[in-house]
Amino acid sequence: MSFRPDATLPQTARPMADRHIKRLPFIDADGTLKGIASHADLLKVFLRTDEELATDIRLTVVDRLIPFFREAVKVTFTEGIAALTGQVGDSHLIGMAARLTHSVEGVVQVHCRLEAPTSQ
């Protein structure tokens, strides 16, 4: 079993776990070996503490996407679930914040409770 270099973490971790594979080669379209991932390499993502993951979400999502409202947004992370609560200036940012949070490695589920002011 091998994977292409652009395979996602879930695409590689699940077969490794299901089949008890310790190392997985990554091969490009030409069949050239590009690297080998070990079971430990993949687990490192999930071995971060809840506090480390919350900090990662704050730095990579909130501080970049909502810099002017970052103090109004609370980020919590518990057992794979990220929660975003608070106020943002533009309702269009809410869905984007949820999607970006979900893309952070280690996040299994996102509860996005961000709100934007309603226009009158």
Residue-level pLDDT, tens digit, the chain, 120 residues: 667 777 776 677 777 777 888 887 888 888 888 888 787 777 776 678 899 999 999 999 999 999 998 899 999 998 889 999 999 989 999 999 999 999 998 888 999 999 998 864
* 36 within a domain of the structure (yes/no): yes
* 3 within a domain of the structure (yes/no): no
Structure tokens at 68: 């002017």
CA angle, residues 5, 6, 12, in degrees to nearest 5: 80
C-alpha–C-alpha distance, residues 76 and 56, integer Å: 11
Structure tokens at 46: 């999930």
Q: Residue 73: which domain range?
A: 48-115
* Same domain, yes or no: 33 and 58: no
* Same domain, yes or no: 20 and 72: no
* 16 within a domain of the structure (yes/no): yes
* Same domain, yes or no: 97 and 65: yes
Q: What is the DSSP letter of 61?
A: I
